[in-house]
Structure formats: C-alpha cells, structure tokens
Amino acid sequence: MRNVCVIAGGQSQWGVRRATLRDMFQEAGKACFEDNPAVTNKDIDGLIVGSAYTERCSFQTHLAPLVAEHLGIKPKNLCLRVELLCATGSSGIMLAYAMIKAGEADVVMVIGGEKLYTPQRWEVNYSELASVDHDWDGAMGLGLPPPVFAAVAKQHMKLYGTTEEQLAMVSVKNRRNGLNNPKGQFREEIALETAMSARPIVRPMKLFDCCPVTDGAAAIILAAEDRAKHLTDKPLVYIRGTGQASMHNMSANFSNWTTWESLKVAAQQAYAKARVTPRDIDVAQTHDCFTISEIIEYEDLGFCRKGEGGYFIQEGKSDFGGQVPVNTDGGLLSCGHPFGATGIRQGIEIMRQLRGDAARQVEGARIGLTHNLSGFIAAHTVVIYGRDLE
C-alpha cells in the first residue's frame, strides 16, 4: 500500500458570481496548476469531480468528462463524479486517496464546485429542500438548514448552558480569520456587538451565525509518494487517515441532536488510522455552516469535553495561540459554502498550513484535520493530514 501526498491546490473566486459552473472549474484548475508549476495536465491520470446541484442549477450532468475536456486533462485510470452534498469535496479526496494507495492511479485531481445563485433567488432555498428526505423532512421545511440548526442550538443551550454570545464569538473569530483570504466571499471583520444585534434568521440563529449561499470551485492534486517527490520541491504533506460514517437520514431517526454519533465514529476511525489523538491536532478546518455546528464539533472531535464547546471558544482555545486553531482561513462563515468545493478548500488550507506558507500561519503545524457534515447532519467525513507519517 502506497503513501499518498497532496502536492497542489487552488480555487476560483468565491461569492455571488455571474460566471458559469464550467468557468469556475476552469478558474480553480488554473489556480491549482499555478500553485505547483511542476505539475501539468499531462501528469494527471485520474480526475474526480464533485458537485451536488449541477443538474438542478446548471442543467448539466455527465460532469467529469466535461471538466476533463475544459482543463485539458485526459485521465486514463479514473474519471468520475461524486456527490455527498456538503461532504462532496472531502469524499472525493477520500476516494482519490484510496485509489492511489491501492495502486489504481498515480496522480489524481479532485475538483469540486457549485453554481447555486440563479436568476430567481427563491430557487436557491427551494432547491435545498432536496438535501433531505424530500417526501418527509423536506415537506415539513426541514430541508432548509437554519430551522434544523436553530433547534440544535436551543437544545445545546438547554442542556449545557451555551449562550448566544458564545455562538457569536465563532462568527467573529472566523470573519477575522478570513480577512487575508483573497478568494473568500467575505473579507471584513465584525464586532461581537454587530453579531449579537444582527437580524434573526431562526432564533437563536442570527444573520452572522449562518454561512452564505456561494458560487465557487476548488481543486487539489494528490499523488503517490514516489511521484510526489519528483513533482514538487515543497514539503510533502501526507494524508494519514480518513473516516466516514452515517447513522441516520431522516430527522425521526436522529437519536441525539447535540451529540453527533456519526461524527464521533468518523473521527475515531481517522484518529486510529493516522495513529494520533485529538491532542495531536495542530490545526483544524471544521464544518461551521452555523456557529453551533463548530461548537459541537469541538466536543465530538475530542478537543474538549461534551458541553464545554461554548467555553472552548470563549477562552480562545480555538483561535490562533490556543489549543487548536480552527477554521484558520475563515471557514464556511467567511469563505462561503459551494457544497462540492468546501472539503477541497479545507484540504488546501491544511496543505498550506503544513507546508508553512498559509496566509495566517499556525507556527510549527505538523498535523491537520478537516471535517464535513452533510444533509440532516446525517453523514460525517474526517481527513487527517501530516507533514510526517509517524
């Protein structure tokens, strides 16, 4: 079984774009190759494309050969599309990792993106009703994320005393972290008072507690270690372990709204394969689609005990200089969230942190983690990266 490295990554501009989905895939592919000029389109023998809403919003299926053609790639070992809603990008990375490790491909690009904004804005939220069981939860409006995460936040507050101010602190931190991210959707700092006084979306979630709807794409290149050594002069970044779990889909089968068992299972899988513990993680990118999400992820990833996530942010433990800096490039709250690209954007940030050339650098970072959830908090994906294999 071969070792697998990350050797390049780049993304398009994220935000509200007039560009088409194929335009943004081309932007992301170009940025990825520019990150490492030693890699060319001729080196890529595998392509994995991730997109969740391409049929509905772009009226385009059979996406992988289309993207390959527009990037000038002729993949001979692997050419396919993956979809797991918000975890699409990280799922693509997991699949590329497995294929390279097994010797079925040597150099694989994983590229993902979404064109979510449509001429009629109401279609964006209407489309998201397909994110859950459309005949059951969707019919009740629970395919729209704010009501779901508002219910999660209320329960966490009731059980553990988490406060609206602690929720707001997550957004303040991540907006600050995104200031130096030129490709992010939002690049302005907000004060705690601004976050606290923002208009409510679904109480207790306010405007800045929610990530935005986003157009954008991102691309990353993985390679077998022997090829990677010849394709980059930068420090090698290895994928050390992965984990994925799903234990429900419908809300009726969601056994615990404030302890996400699927996340705990996926995290334990990844930790065991990487031979690390939560205390070994130097930097993390978690799925902060809503501020309460990041707080629960601190807990279920093992960074703190259950119920202490609010204090973890309040005491600065997830900020630069803290126990484990989280969402160092701004996360979903600042960068935005084009579903198919988010896990890839996270992987790019971890690659840069471990190479030592991130926009805001965590000094001495050697081990990094990414996490995505998807659907009705139904599936969780964890990937652990390292500068070393041991």
Q: Round to whole Å and give the CA distance between 355 and 211.
A: 28
195-208 in b/e burial notation, b at 16+ Cβ within 10 A?
bbebeebbebbbeb
Q: Round to whole Å and give the CA distance between 119 and 138.
A: 23
Catalytic residue among 86, 211, 289, 304: 86
Give the number of other CB atoms < 10 A from CB of residue 24. Answer: 25
Q: Say whether 337 is catalytic.
A: yes
Q: Say whether 156 is catalytic.
A: no
The 3-class secondary structure across 154-214, one letter per residue, is HHHHHHHCCCHHHHHHHHHHHHHHHHHCCCCCCCCCCCHHHHHHCCEEECCEEHHHECCCC
Q: Round to whole Å and give the CA distance between 280 and 296.
A: 19
Dmax of the chain from CA atoms? 56
Q: How many residues does the chain have?
A: 390
Q: Radius of gyration of the chain from Cα atoms?
A: 19
Catalytic residue among 156, 337, 371, 380: 337
Residues with active-site annotation: 86, 337
